[in-house]
Homo-oligomer: A and B are copies of this chain.
Amino acid sequence: MSDTHTGVPSVVAAPLPTPVPADEHEQCPVTDVLRRIGDKWTVLVVVLLGRRPYRFNELHRGIQGISQRMLTRTLRALEDDGLVRREVFPTVPPGVEYSLTPLGESLLVPLSAVADWAVGHRDEIARARLAAGAGPDRPE
């Protein structure tokens, strides 16, 4: 830590020469990943699959509130990114099992960092929001 006033390591503080070259920030892998795990259900699914493999309806019941459509889409997206493996068992009735790939499991690590931060600062954030809403005049 030596080139910013915050002692933060890694790519976040490293590259990005002040004038952001983000003309095509669309393809920035960081934003890309964040937008994927930033959706409504992905994290929940990944965390569950991090515990053990699940079958489709098992996840559907387990998550409660998710629609089949969203569960399907979420799983498909994760599968396409190589984070989740889908295995079909030709039984009757057919069974499909979902599990994390090694890549998917590796995601649990940084995910934990964010989760810990979120849990650790939830009160602080909640208070800030209250102050913002009730404090000065917030027109609508």
* Interface residue A29 (Cβ < 8 Å from any Cβ of B): yes
Q: A44 touches which one: B31, B38, B47, B108 (CB < 8 A)?
A: B31
Taken together, the copies of this chain in the complex come to 2
**Whole-angstrom distance between the Cβ of A130 and the nearest chain B Cβ:** 10
- Min CB gap A3→B, angstroms: 9
A residues contacting B by CB (< 8 A) are 4-6, 8-13, 16, 18-20, 22-23, 25, 29-40, 43-44, 47-48, 50-52, 62-65, 79-83, 100, 103, 105-119, 121-122, 124-125, 127-129, 131-133
| A30 in contact with B119 given A4-B51, A51-B13 (CB within 8 Å) | yes
Known: A25-B44, A34-B118. 6 other contacts (CB 8 A): A6-B50, A12-B50, A20-B63, A29-B125, A82-B127, A83-B128
Question: Does the CB pair A110–B103 fall under 8 Å?
Answer: no
- Please determine whether A44 and B20 come into contact, CB atoms closer than 8 angstroms: yes
Q: Given that A8-B112, A40-B35, A113-B113 are contacting pairs, would A47 and B79 also be in contact in the complex, using a CB cutoff of 8 Å?
A: no
Point out the residues of chain B lying under 8 angstroms from A48, CB to CB.
Answer: 16, 18, 20
Q: Chain B residues near A80: list those with CB within 8 A.
A: 128-129, 132-133
Known: A51-B4, A124-B82. A114 touches B110 (CB 8 A): yes
- Contact A10 B82, beta carbon cutoff 8 Å: no
Q: Which residues of B contact A64 (CB under 8 A)?
A: 20, 22-23
